[in-house]
Amino acid sequence: MIQDNDRSKVIGRRALLLAGGKTALLTMLAGRMYYLQVMQSGRYATLADENRINLRLLPPPRGRILDRNGVPMAVNQENYRVLIVSEETDDLEDTLDSLAEIIPIGEHDYARIVREAKRHRSFVPVTVKENLSWEDVSRIELNSPDLPGVMIDVGQSRSYPLVGLGAHLLGYVSAVSEADLQGSTDPLLELPGFRIGKAGVEKIYDLALRGKGGTSQVEVNSVGRTIRELKRNEGEPGTDLALSIDLNLQQFAAQRLGDESASIVVMDIHSGEVLVMASTPSFDPNAFNRGLLPDEWRDLSTNPRAPLTNKAIAGQYPPGSTFKTMVTLAGLESGIITRDHTVTCGGRMNLGNLTWYCDKAHGTLDLKGAIQYSCDVYFYDVARRVGIDTIAAMAKRFGLGDKLDIDLPGEATGLVPSRAWKKATMGVPWTSGEDFNAGIGQGYLLVTPLQLATMAARIANGGFAVKPHLVRPQLSGSQDEPRETREFASMGISQPSLALLVEAMTAVANQPGGTAYAMRIADPAMAMAGKTGTAQVHHLQTFEHKLEGGKKPDQLPWKMRDHALFIAFAPVVAPTFACAVVVEHGGWGASAAAPIARDVLIEVQKRYPLRSALEPEGCCGTPAPHDHG
Amino acid sequence: MLTAQDRHFRFSRGEMTLREKLWHVSWSFVLLISLVCAFGFLTLYSAANGSVEPWAARQMMRFAVGLAVMLAVSLVDIRNWMRWSYALYFIALILLIGVQLRGSVGMGAQRWIDLGFIQLQPSEIMKITLILALARYFHGASYQEVGRPIFLLPPLVMVLLPVVLVLKQPDLGTALMLTLAAGAMFFLSGVRVWQFALVIAAGLGGVPLVWKFMHEYQRQRILTFLNPENDPLGAGYHILQSKIALGSGGLFGKGFLQGTQSHLNFLPEKQTDFIFTMLAEEWGMVGGVILVGLYSLILIYGYAMSLKSRNQFGRLTGLGLTTTFFLYVFINIAMVMGLVPVVGVPLPLISYGGTAMLSLLFGFGLVMSAYIHRDVHIGRRGASDDV
Q: How far is B334 from chain A (nearest CA, A)?
A: 6
Nearest to A223 among B265, B288, B315 (CB): B265
Beta carbons of A47 and B251 less than 8 Å apart: no
Amino acid at B113: I
> What is the pLDDT, as a whole number, of residue A184?
76
Ordered DSSP codes for B331-379: HHHHHHTTSS-----PPTTTSS-HHHHHHHHHHHHHHHHHHHTTT---B
Contact A30 B289 (CB under 8 A): yes
Percent of residues, chain A, with pLDDT higher than 90? 45
Interchain proximity B244–A8, CB inside 8 Å? no
Q: Considering only alpha carbons, which residue of chain A is nearest residue B327?
A: A22
Nearest CB to A7; choose among B280, B292, B312: B312
CB contact under 8 A, A51 and B333: no
In this prediction, residue A168 has a pLDDT band, given cuts at 50, 70 and 90, of: very high
Predicted pLDDT at B5: 44
Residue B98 C-alpha, separation from nearest chain A C-alpha, in angstroms: 35
Q: Is the CB of A33 less than 8 angstroms away from the CB of B288?
A: yes
Question: In chain A, pLDDT over 70 holds for what percent of residues?
Answer: 91
In sequence order, the 6+-apart residues with CB closer than 8 A to the CB of A77 are A156, A157, A158, A159
Per-residue pLDDT, A138: 87
- The string of pLDDT tens digits covering residues A303-353 is 888 899 999 999 999 999 999 999 999 999 999 999 999 999 988 888 888
pLDDT computed for residue B4 by the predictor: 44
Q: How confident is the model at residue A16 (pLDDT cuts 50, 70, 90)?
A: very high
Cross-strand pairs, A530: A568
Looking at residue A323, its pLDDT comes to: 95
Contact residues, chain B, for A9 at CB < 8 Å? none
- CB atoms A18 and B280 under 8 Å: no
Q: What 8-state DSSP symbol labels residue A552?
A: -
Of A3, A33, A220, the CB nearest to B285: A33
Chain A residues with beta carbon closer than 8 angstroms to that of B339: 28-29, 32
Res B231: pLDDT: 60
User: Between B1, B243, B264, which is nearest A44 by CB?
Assistant: B243
Residue A565: φ, ψ to 5° = -125, 150
With an 8 Å Cβ cutoff, are A15 and B307 in contact?
Answer: yes
The SS3 of residue A448 is coil
For β-strands B109-114 and A72-84, DSSP reports them as unpaired
Distance from CA of A18 to the nearest CA of B (A): 8
Residue A37 gets which letter from DSSP?
I
Q: With contacts defined as CB-CB under 8 Å, which chain B residues touch A36?
A: 243, 246-247, 337
Distance CA A321, CA A531 (A): 7
Q: Tell me the mean pLDDT in the region A377-391.
A: 93
Candidate from B248, B265, B292 with C-beta closest to A26: B292
CA separation for the pair A67, A166 (Å, rounded):
10
Mean pLDDT of the A181-207 span: 83
Question: Does the beta-carbon distance from A52 to B250 stay under 8 Å?
Answer: no
Query: So what's the pLDDT on residue A620?
Result: 42
Q: How many CB pairs under 8 A join A and B?
A: 138
User: In what helix (H) or strand (E) does residue A577 lie, and over which residues does it extend?
Assistant: strand A577-583
Instruction: List chain A residues with CB under 8 Å of B263.
Output: 221
Per-residue pLDDT tens, chain B, 387 aa: give them.
444 444 444 444 457 888 888 888 899 999 999 999 999 999 999 999 888 888 999 999 999 999 999 999 999 999 999 999 999 999 999 988 887 776 555 444 456 666 555 567 888 889 999 999 999 999 988 888 888 889 999 999 999 999 998 887 778 888 989 999 999 999 999 888 888 888 888 888 888 887 887 788 778 777 766 666 666 555 567 888 888 898 989 899 888 888 888 887 788 788 888 999 999 999 999 999 999 999 999 999 999 999 999 889 999 999 999 999 999 999 999 999 988 888 888 999 999 988 889 899 999 999 999 999 988 888 776 555 443
Domains of chain A: 56-242 (3.90.1310.10), 247-283+310-612 (3.40.710.10)
Question: Per the CB < 8 Å rule, is B330 touching A10?
Answer: no
What confidence score (pLDDT) does residue A622 get? 42
Residue A527 above 70 pLDDT?
yes
pTM: 0.64
Q: Is the dihedral of CA A446, A451, A452, A456 positive or negative?
A: negative
Of A7-21, A207-221, A538-552, B327-341, which gets the smallest average pLDDT?
A538-552
Helices B275-308 and B312-336 sit at what angle, rounded to 10 degrees?
160
Distance CA(A420)–CA(A85), nearest Å, equals 70
- Report yes or no: A226 at the B interface, CB cutoff 8 Å: no
Average pLDDT over residues A368-385: 93
pLDDT tens digit sequence for A406-434: 999 999 999 999 999 999 999 999 988 88
What integer pLDDT is reported at residue B108 of this predicted model? 44
For chain B, the domains span 14-385
Average pLDDT, integer, range A592-616: 81
d(CA A401, CA B353): 86
A27: which chain B residues are within 8 Å (Cβ-Cβ)?
none
Q: What confidence score (pLDDT) does residue A628 get? A: 41
Catalytic positions of A, written as ranges: 321
Q: Which residue of B has its CA nearest to A47?
A: B244
Q: Which ipTM score applies to this complex?
A: 0.89
Q: How confident is the model at residue A124 (pLDDT cuts 50, 70, 90)?
A: confident
- For residue range A41-78, what is the model confidence (pLDDT) as tens digits? 888 888 888 878 777 778 888 999 999 888 999 998 88
- Per-residue model confidence (pLDDT) at position A612: 46
- What confidence tens digit (pLDDT) does each residue in A276-308 have? 999 989 999 888 877 788 888 888 888 888 899
Rounded distance between C-alpha atoms, residue A623 and residue B4, angstroms: 125
Tell me how close the Cα of A137 comes to any Cα of chain B, in angstroms: 35
pLDDT at position B126 is 93
A201 in Cβ contact with A192 (< 8 Å): no
Q: Tens digits of per-residue pLDDT, A460-493?
A: 999 999 999 998 765 444 444 444 445 788 899 9
Cβ–Cβ gap A45/B326 under 8 Å: no
**CA–CA min distance B37, chain A (Å):** 20
Q: Quick one: CA dihedral A504, A507, A513, A514, positive or negative? A: positive
> Which of the two residues, B4 and A385, has the higher pLDDT score?
A385
Closest chain A residue by Cα to residue B248: A45
CB contacts of A33 in chain B (<8 Å) are 246, 280, 285, 288-289, 292, 337
For A499, phi then psi, to 5°, come to -60, -40
- Measured in angstroms, the CA of B369 and the nearest CA of chain A are apart by 19
Residue A614 has pLDDT above 70, yes or no: no
A9 in contact with B, Cβ within 8 Å:
no
Rounded Cα gap, residues A333 and A326, in angstroms: 10
Nearest to A51 among B184, B266, B288 (CB): B266
How far off is chain A from B314, nearest CA to CA, in Å? 12
Of B244, B295, B329, the CB nearest to A47: B244
